[in-house]
Amino acid sequence: MAIEHILPRLLIAMAVILGASRLMGMLFVRFRQPQVVGEMVAGIMLGPSLLGWLSEEAVRSGLWSFHVGHALFPTSIIPFLGILSQLGVILFLFLVGLELDPKLLRNKGHAAVVISHASIVVPFLLGTSLTLFLYPLLFNHTEAMRFTPVALFMGAAMSITAFPVLARILTERKMHKTRVGAVAITCAAVDDVTAWCMLAFVVGVARAEGLMPALVTAGLATVYVLGMFYIVRPFLRRLQAVHDRQGKLSGGAVALVLGLVLISAWMTEKIGIHALFGAFMVGAIMPKGTQFVHTLTEKLEDFIVVLLLPIFFAYTGLKTQIGLLNTVELWGYTGLIILVACLGKFGGSALAGRLCGFSWREAGAVGILMNTRGLMELVILNIGRELGVITPAVFAMMVLMALATTAMTSPVLHYIYPRRLYEDELQELAAKGKKSSVPAVLIPVADPRSGGPLLQLADWFTAAVAAPADPAPDAVERRDRLGLPHVGDRKIFALHLRRPVELDGYRGAFKEAGPGAPLAPKAQSEASLQPLLEFADRHGIPVESIAFVSRDVADDIARTAAERGADLVLMGSHRALVDRTVLGGTVHRVLTQTPTDVAILLDRGFRNISRVMVPYLRGPHDRLALELASRLGRAAGCSVTVLHVVPPDDATRAKESESAAAGAAEAMRRVFGDSHASTAVEFRVIRDADPIAAVVAESTHFDLLIVGVGEEWGLESQRFGLRPERLAAEARCSMLLVKKASPVTLRPETRVPDVAAPANAS
């Protein structure tokens, strides 16, 4: 068929594949399954196992006269889908290599060493042993299907662990910082490298025709690996240095890297150990923990994961014929393969974990995590099918095994190792590093523009608490005696939470929070934190950056605050797209759920402060507003006006108003106390029937308005209504809405990911 006829069919097929993969992925996510499982199922559904079978039945029964499967995927476009799928897998393996953290392969603990070896050796031996039974029953005695390559391939296929899917599951369950999660991640990383090396060996054996060709392949592979480490790796480091000097990733650099990937893949294909190994090797030797790799990954993964990998799933589905399993015996062999796969990975890892001192439940959790196979298994199976070492029926059996072992991971893990079992460990980890005497502020950043103003406020708030209140020579000694913090004994955390996307199902989603994976202030941090970190550098403000994937932003802000011992959560407010309110959505949940003081900044050009107003009625939230104003007065040298609004005079309320004003004045004196000497404080009483209107009118003369979010202002109701929105909308200056902490019980779910790196510019 001419290309002008093939192209339209190919485009339609790609559109159908993309739509089906998105729909099934979203459906499986709703059932708490990794999205990649849904996309794998979508690929099989588009093949002869479902769409083809339904089309044939419909034609046979006379419902319609054309075969839908053949119409969507005619034989003329199958080779083109195959080429696109191979290109997608080659680039994906390059991304897998990029994500590989060498730190996980070094300095492994005793348990990780034992479990990682057991999780490779046991399933490999069981897989090769199973071949002794299945070989005469399921395999053809052809040249490609000699027993040795078949046995080696079955062992390698049983030994794979889907590192990206495992990491995603651990992140979603908040397990990646626990002992079980850390061991599983380390073992999976070791398995990833070992399995690909093992596969390269199997492919070399399968392709070799005699002893001499095998020795030549081994020799060339050795030369190739040495050349990659001692020639290409230094070149990539120089390329990274060029990127660092230029501060951006140029199109030329991307083209150069992709060219290296393609050339490396070509070389390993010609050597005889498959093109995928070459792509993986380039990614593995790339310099890790750099903005160069981070930006390169972002540029490539959308195209690869969203478009090319679904084509790979569909191509795999088109080659998967579950209908070949048409007898009870064949389904029995399928069940046997799944059983042996689980026994090898789950059983071997769990037994090794138990011998290393884990409880049976902990060991079982490690075992079921190591048993997940996912996309990586499909990649290996397609290699085996291309090599001709497995039959179409065995290919279908192994695809079902990959789906079963991946889909069972989450539900079985929930049953074996529910969250209550590692709750104590999470609380123990959360307690470490907490120092109640050290002032700490957490700044969640969503809009990069808000970073600078928020950090400036946090700097003033913490500096005022940490610095001695008087310059006397014995000030430091006195603060020691009273247990007060010194200058510099403060903590400011900048937090960026990223919504999970489908890409995380294909890579180590714990990357932002993985063990030993710090983010450099100007390199690895999310773009949302860059303006804040640059502001910190310019002004010498010590700040620690945190970034990780979050499915519940408000909940994770609350947990991070509790985890880091924050005294105050300071964040910006941005109008929602739907309800257009300032205090709805995430802001409302942070105000009501966070077990620490909270301040929400409505920025109207706030940069410097000379005059601050605190409207004071009563209650703990107004008291917090006074305390923060007192800190600003000491640190920023601004004047503070405490405004008390009382109703107009009448005979019945005059005494009550006088008493309220006296109480407000006394509250101001108690809060400001010793700071009167360094802070200009004014107390004013205004009579007005509408407190909000009075505050709005006075706000024209001030730089910052600090308002306690209490019921007195109508701000503490479950449903934020007209009054707070009016105050927020009509105030003429920037506004800080503050809420005093109230006892909140957090659901025992997580140890907050630790990816911080100090951005200390002092």
Give the least confident one: 261-270, 315-324, 356-365, 606-615.
606-615
Does residue 262 register a pLDDT over 90?
A: yes
Does 188 score more than 70 pLDDT? yes
pLDDT at 485: 43
Check residues 106 and 12 and name the one with the higher pLDDT.
12
**CA–CA dist 467, 473 (Å, integer):** 13
Residue 514 pLDDT > 50: no
pLDDT surpassing 60 at residue 136:
yes
Does the pLDDT value for residue 537 go beyond 70?
yes
Using alpha carbons, select from 378, 372, 377 the residue that is nearest to residue 408: 372
Nearest C-alpha neighbor of 361 from the set 418, 424, 429: 418
| 384-405: pLDDT as tens digits | 888 888 899 999 999 999 999 9
Cα distance between residue 161 and residue 163, in whole Å = 6
Residue ranges matching CATH 1.20.1530.20 in the chain: 3-424
656 pLDDT band, cuts 50/70/90, is: low
pLDDT at 367: 92
Taking all residues of the chain, what is their mean pLDDT, rounded to a whole number? 78
Choosing among 3.40.50.2030, 3.40.50.300, 1.10.760.10, 3.40.50.620, the CATH entry for 597-740 is 3.40.50.620
For position 60, what pLDDT does the model report? 78
The structure tokens 């964040």 sit at 571
The three-class DSSP label of residue 443 is strand
Can you give the pLDDT at residue 509? 43
**Packed helices 360-370 and 163-172: angle between N→C axes, nearest 10 degrees:** 130
Residue 741 confidence (pLDDT) above 80: no
What percent of the chain shows pLDDT beyond 70? 78
Does the pLDDT value for residue 731 go beyond 50?
A: yes
* Pair 648, 669: CB distance under 8 Å: no
Binned at pLDDT 50, 70 and 90, residue 251 comes out as confident
Fold type of domain 3-424: Na+/H+ antiporter like fold (1.20.1530)
Strands 757-758 and 544-549: antiparallel
Tell me the average pLDDT across 94-123. Answer: 78
Is residue 17 scored above 90 in pLDDT?
yes
* Lowest model confidence (mean pLDDT) among 17-31, 511-525, 530-544: 511-525
Higher pLDDT, 522 or 150: 150
Phi and psi at 339, nearest 5°, equal: -60, -45
* C-alpha span between 181 and 508 (Å, rounded): 13
The neighbour count for residue 424, using CB atoms within 10 Å, is 10
Most confident option among 35-49, 101-115, 281-295, 664-678: 35-49
Residue scoring higher pLDDT (457 or 749)? 457
- DSSP string across 533-568: HHHHHHHT---EEEEEE-S-HHHHHHHHHHHTT-SE
Q: What average pLDDT does the segment 572-597 reach?
A: 66
The sheet carrying 734-739 orders its strands as 681-687, 639-646, 611-615, 704-708, 734-739, 597-602, 568-572, 440-444, 491-498, 544-549, 757-758
* Residues 158-181 pLDDT 10s: 988 887 778 777 777 777 668 888
pLDDT tens per residue, range 330-343: 999 999 999 999 99
What value does the mean pLDDT take over residues 320-336? Answer: 93
At residue 106, the pLDDT reads 60
Residue-level pLDDT at 104: 61
Higher pLDDT, 441 or 606: 441
Confidence of residue 723 (pLDDT cuts 50, 70, 90): low
Evaluate if residue 24 carries a pLDDT over 60: yes
Residue type, 534: E
Q: Residues of 603-622 as b/e, b for ≥16 C-beta within 10 angstroms?
A: beebeebeebbbbbbebebb
Tell which residue, 225, 227, 90, has the closest CA to residue 82: 90
Which CATH number describes the domain made up of 438-594+750-762?
3.40.50.620
- Please list the alpha-helical segments (H only) found in 48-146: 53-61, 68-72, 78-99, 110-138
Query: What pLDDT is stored for residue 123 in this prediction?
Result: 93
The arithmetic mean of pLDDT across residues 415-434, rounded, is 69
pLDDT band at 101 (very low <50, low <70, confident <90, very high): low
* pLDDT tens digits, 681-711: 888 888 887 878 888 888 888 889 888 876 5
For residues 332 and 57, the model is more confident at 332
Contact 105, 193 (CB under 8 A): yes
In the chain, where does the domain assigned CATH 3.40.50.620 lie? 438-594+750-762, 597-740
Confidence at residue 760, expressed as pLDDT on a 0 to 100 scale: 35
Of the ranges 52-66, 371-385, 584-598, which is most confident?
371-385
pTM here is 0.62
Amino acid at 630: S
